[in-house]
Amino acid sequence: MSGETFVSRNELKKSKHRNMEANKFYNHVSSWIKSYRNAEALQRLRAFINSSTQPVDIKEKLNGEIDRKIAGLKQRPMFAMNNGICYLADSEGHPQVFTTRFSAVCKLAELKMNGYDAELKPGSVFYRIQINEPAPMEEMAA
């Protein structure tokens, strides 16, 4: 029994070490993403991330940060999944919240003019925009 306890403690130490290394990698690469101002350089960074031996969840988080950064650089709308629904997102990747119906309808009209299949989703005191198709077929003009 003491052998089993020793193995589980050893595995626990290894697991903590792996998590610590993954967090270091995430924080380091995330700071690179924040400092980059070129979409092509971000794509090269994405290739570096995807070829790394990091856990899938770390790669997904970093790729999401790259997607949001590129969208911001190209002045495109950003999207985020929340409970299986795709919403227009803010710069942090959270569903964007509009406090007035007017501002939400203006943004909805802008998205529809650019070819996005979107609809207004009212909440109790705020509005969100749900995206049914994440991207139009042709790229938006900047």
Q: Is residue 141 part of a domain?
A: no
Question: For residue 95, which of 107, 106, 109 has the smallest C-alpha distance?
Answer: 107
99: containing domain? 77-136
Burial annotation 16-27 (CB, 10 A radius, 16+ → b, else e): eeeeeebeebbe
Q: Is residue 42 part of a domain?
A: yes
Query: Which pTM value belongs to this model?
Result: 0.62
Q: Are residues 22 and 68 in the same domain?
A: yes
Percent of the chain with pLDDT over 70: 89
Domain count, the chain: 2
Label residue 16 by pLDDT band (50, 70, 90).
confident
Q: Are residues 66 and 81 in the same domain?
A: no
